[in-house]
Amino acid sequence: MEDSTRVRSFPLVYLGLVAAGVLIRLLFLLLAGELEPYADENFYLYHGLCMERFSLYQGGVAYLWPPGYPFFLAVFLRLFQGEAVFAAKLCQVLLAGVVGWTLLLFANRLFSRRAAFVAGVVWAVYLPFIGFTHYLWPEMLCLAVSLPAFYLLFTWWMDSERGVPGNGRLLAAGLLFGVALLIKEVLLYFSLVIAVLILWRHRRFSWRGGLSHVALFLLSVIVVVLPWSLRNYEVYGRVAPVGITLGANCYQGVVRPYACFDYPRIDYTELWDEESWVYRRFIVQPPGWPAERVHAPNMCDESTANVKLAMGLTMEHPWWFARSRIKRLANWLAPWSFFVRHHGLGRYHGLLNEAPVRDVLVVLCLLQTAAIIALSVPGFLLSLRQPMGRALLGWLLLYGLATALLVGMSRHRMVVEPFLIVLSAGFVTGAGRPWRGRRLAVGVVAAYWIVLVLLWSINQPEMSTFLDRVWHS
Alpha helices in 283-317 (DSSP H): 299-316
Q: What is the pLDDT of residues 290-320, one digit of tens each?
A: 777 777 777 888 888 888 888 888 888 888 8
Q: Which carries the bigger pLDDT value, residue 314 or residue 208?
A: 314
Q: Is the pLDDT of residue 144 over 90?
A: yes
Burial of 325 (0-12, 13-18, 19+ CB in 10 A): middle
Q: How far apart are CA 309 and CA 304, in angstroms?
A: 9
Q: How far apart are CA 117 and CA 448, in angstroms?
A: 26
Q: Which long-range contacts (CB under 8 A, 24 or more apart) does 41-46 make?
A: 41/135, 41/136, 41/137, 44/69, 44/70, 44/73, 44/136, 44/137, 44/138, 45/73, 45/85, 45/136
- Cα distances from 18 to residues 78, 187, 301, in angstroms, run 30, 26, 46
Question: Which pLDDT belongs to residue 368?
Answer: 96
Q: What is the pLDDT of residues 250-287, one digit of tens each?
A: 888 888 888 888 887 777 767 777 777 788 888 888 87
Q: How far apart are CA 85 and CA 133, in angstroms?
A: 12
Question: Which pLDDT belongs to residue 435?
Answer: 62
Cα dihedral 160→166→170→171 (10° resolution): 160
3-state per-residue secondary structure call for 341-394: HHHHCCCCCHHHHCHHHHHHHHHHHHHHHHHHHHHHHHHHHHHCCCHHHHHHHH
Classify 39 in phi/psi space as left (phi over 0), alpha (psi -120 to 50) or beta: left
Q: Is the pLDDT of residue 6 over 60?
A: no
Residues above pLDDT 90, as percent of the chain: 43
Domain coordinates in residue numbering, the chain: 2-472
Residue pair 242/225 in contact by the 8 Å Cβ criterion: yes
